[in-house]
Structure 1
Amino acid sequence: MGEGSQRAQGPLAGVRVLELGTMYAAPTCGRMLRDFGADVVKVEDPGAGDYARQWTPMKNGQSMGFARLNSGKRSIGIDLRSAAGRDLVRRLAARVDVVIESFRPGRLEEWGIGYDVLRADNPGLVLTRVSGFGQTGPYRERPGFGTVAETGSGFAFINGWPETPPTSPPFGFADSIAGISAAMGTAMALYRKSRTGEGDEVDIALYEPLMFIIGDMLINYTATGTVQGRVGNGTGSASPRGVYQASDGKWLSIAASNQGIAKRLFEAMGRPEMIEDPRYATNAVRMEHNDELQGIVGAWVAARPRAEILAVLDKFEVVCSQVNDASDIVADPHFGERTLVELTGSEALGRVLTPGPVLHVRSYDGPRYDGVPAIGQHTREVLDELLR
């Protein structure tokens, strides 16, 4: 099936997006929209392009991260530092449904292409704005990347073990969540437009979606004054839960996060009486005795190979998983059928696999990931199409 016919099936078929964003979060938003049928035109500096093209890891000069986020988009080269370039963006914005941008708040306004200006030309325009701290508030003008969001949101403080420093993740966690959230906000604004004909301005701060995810610690602090610390692989809210090493050195996770699963875990361990033990009968008392309970579960796991443990846990319907590395994921038939897709059209990378859409829609088979655009590759094509 060709790219055009697949795109026509998507829920966002016919939606045109102008992506002014660079690096990670805003292009993630663009990819989310493109995954479900939108035509995404990526505006890049004609010389340097998106800095994400320089990210490692690389193969034959092609950034793998850039390829993952930008496959299937069209690239046009426009110099936004020039008056002519900004005028061209304004004219293009009048012909699209969505503009995504990730400049520091106020920059578009300084350039004369802020929301009020773009909306005057295109009342139905959705302007999705991704920034470090949002378009409002005392910190609005501060620069921000994912690391700042991961530390400022509180995530890094609770991530790790009590004896280790606060830890940021080794990937674009905050950026990714912000990009997905920006796509959700864009979709909501497009829905509103379908009912009212009016566009909207969507404001995403990198830290806010991540702060939402860890929000229980804020409720806990304001309710009890307790500052949540680092608890390693535990949640601090349910027991037993964690990552354990089997006798063959391989790792697995167990999440006995409700009473039924905890009971089935004790049965799987051959210790059904533990659910009647006053120390382990409820989650509240299990948390009070978490260290000793984790020791019991850990010792049970450590006495057997991982495959044997997982087979027993599956039999008793205990929530569990092996701890996968990249090779495990690629070899797994479930992920191969449902999640991983082939990224093609890049001579530099060859045949590679990447995660596909983050959700599935019955009416839509999903896009192809065919072709990583060169800087400005589609400039003439897009200008002829939109401004002719």
Structure 2
Amino acid sequence: MGPLADLKVVELGTLIAGPYCARLMAEFGADVVKVETPGEGDPLRKWRKLHEGNSLWWYAQARNKKSVAVNLKAPEGQEVVRRLVAQADIVVENFRPGTLEKWNLGYEQLAKENPRLVMVRLSGFGQTGPYKDQPGFGAIGESMGGMRYITGYPDRAPVRVGISIGDSLAAMFGVIGALMAIHNRTKTGKGQVVDVALYEAVFAMMESMLPEYGYDGSVRERTGSALPGIVPSNTYRCKDGQYVVIGANADSIFKRMMRGIGLPALADDPELADNAGRTRHTERLDKVIGDWCASVTLDEALAVLAKAEVPSGRIYSIADIAKDLHFQARGMIERHKLGERELVLPGIVPKLSETPGGTKWIGPRLGEHTDEVLASLGYSAADIARLHAAATVG
């Protein structure tokens, strides 16, 4: 059942941040009801590759969720949501601040009927501050939070990480905040708002950038594949055109690596005995290691580095991931039926020894659970038929 099986969650979000937040709870047993617009649904249903009208991404993002199609702009639809929320522990939403209040579904309004409610509010800039009313997608949060500025090579424009990392980081902070609020509720009996701004979720990951700037005005710049100030830690091209990632920045590991690749003099060089010394010789060491990598294939490099116990690895494509034995052994490649096709989904993270998460079902059809959920809220068959006829639900 999962460790969150006693929690009821109402998801009012669309696209990435809100739905991913609720997905993580659903994967660990929470009863998640996703509210979608009748006839349209979450726009994510139509993103990237489709199968029978739904994106393959959707089947992962909405797994274990119940889909209820409700028109939030109609008073009758708002009443459906209020009934849902009256029984809920957590509401997850990622509309622009003020939108739920316009629909009479803001936290203050809902908490009057359910003071134990925890509401996770994900937005570009948060619920307060001068930017709160501006639209803010993940790309904007990644840019404002500092990630885009340091990503890429110094002689080129900043680049994006290949996934919606800003949304996903915000979603994870949303889950953390929700569970902290639930824990606090066990002591106080009261819920609260969890306010997560995308740019702040990204900014929280920026390691030492702010302390360094505050200390002496240092601004971290783009450095490509290298990790500045931590040497050697870089990506190198091998003889067969493939790349190896090497992290030999601990003192003892550096010595083992130098001996392993046939350069014992560098291992014993007192100037390179610690990271400060190696940082002063970054270019020299990168050239030495780069020349060695260029003389061997990737497999040969990995064999030598493994023997020397140096952290190293190849850069995986999704094809490499799907066939890797370690991914499979850890349950990270799940296989499900999708009509006549096979659907491959990522496994559940993290691994809990006693109450693991799991996939009960893949993302549902739009409104698949509408009638079931309405009946559980006390609506009669006649009421449900009337709401359908008025296009309030679907």
Same fold (TM over 0.5): yes
Aligned partner of 1:378 in structure 2 is 369
TM-score calculated relative to the size of structure 1: 0.94
Aligned partner of 1:268 in structure 2 is 260
The code of the aligned residue for 1:150 comes to E
| Equivalent pair of 1:274/1:281 in contact (CA under 8 Å) | no
TM-score calculated relative to the size of structure 2: 0.92
> How far did residue 53 of structure 1 move?
0.9
The code of the aligned residue for 1:237 comes to G
2:356 corresponds to which of 365, 373, 388: 365
| Equivalent pair of 2:28/2:356 in contact (CA under 8 Å) | no
Name the CA distance, whole Å, in 2 between partners of 1:29 and 1:345.
25
> How far did residue 250 of structure 1 move?
1.8
> How far did residue 194 of structure 1 move?
2.3
SS of the residue 1:234 aligns to: coil
1:216 corresponds to which of 208, 221, 225: 208
Matches within 5 A, 1:35-184: 35-184=27-176
1:195 corresponds to which of 160, 184, 187: 187
| Equivalent pair of 1:346/1:372 in contact (CA under 8 Å) | no
Q: Runs in 1 of length 4+ with deviation above 6 angstroms? A: none
SS of the residue 1:120 aligns to: helix
SS of the residue 2:35 aligns to: strand
Distance 1:158-1:357 versus aligned 2 partners, 3 A rule? same
Identical positions, percent: 39
Aligned partner of 1:257 in structure 2 is 249
The code of the aligned residue for 1:20 comes to L
| Equivalent pair of 1:345/1:370 in contact (CA under 8 Å) | no
> How far did residue 35 of structure 1 move?
1.1
Q: Greater CA deviation, 148-157 or 285-294?
A: 285-294
Name the CA distance, whole Å, in 2 between partners of 1:345 and 1:333.
22
Aligned: 1:344 with 2:372: no
SS of the residue 2:204 aligns to: helix
The code of the aligned residue for 2:355 comes to Y
1:32 corresponds to which of 20, 24, 27: 24
SS of the residue 2:166 aligns to: helix
> How far did residue 241 of structure 1 move?
0.8
> How far did residue 60 of structure 1 move?
4.4
Aligned partner of 2:287 in structure 1 is 295
Aligned partner of 1:4 in structure 2 is none
SS of the residue 1:191 aligns to: helix
Name the CA distance, whole Å, in 1 between partners of 2:193 and 2:179.
12
Unaligned ranges ≥5, structure 1: 1-6
What per-residue deviation string (whole Å, max 9, x for no partner) do you get for residues 56-80 of structure 1? Answer: 1334433122222112211000011
The code of the aligned residue for 1:24 comes to I
What per-residue deviation string (whole Å, max 9, x for no partner) do you get for residues 134-165 of structure 1? Answer: 11111111111011011111111100011110
| Equivalent pair of 1:11/1:36 in contact (CA under 8 Å) | yes
Distance 1:345-1:118 versus aligned 2 partners, 3 A rule? farther
The code of the aligned residue for 1:165 comes to A
Name the CA distance, whole Å, in 2 between partners of 1:22 and 1:154.
25
> How far did residue 384 of structure 1 move?
1.4
Name the CA distance, whole Å, in 1 between partners of 2:342 and 2:118.
36
Aligned partner of 2:14 in structure 1 is 22
| Equivalent pair of 1:76/1:375 in contact (CA under 8 Å) | yes
The code of the aligned residue for 2:43 comes to Y
The code of the aligned residue for 1:358 comes to V
SS of the residue 1:213 aligns to: coil
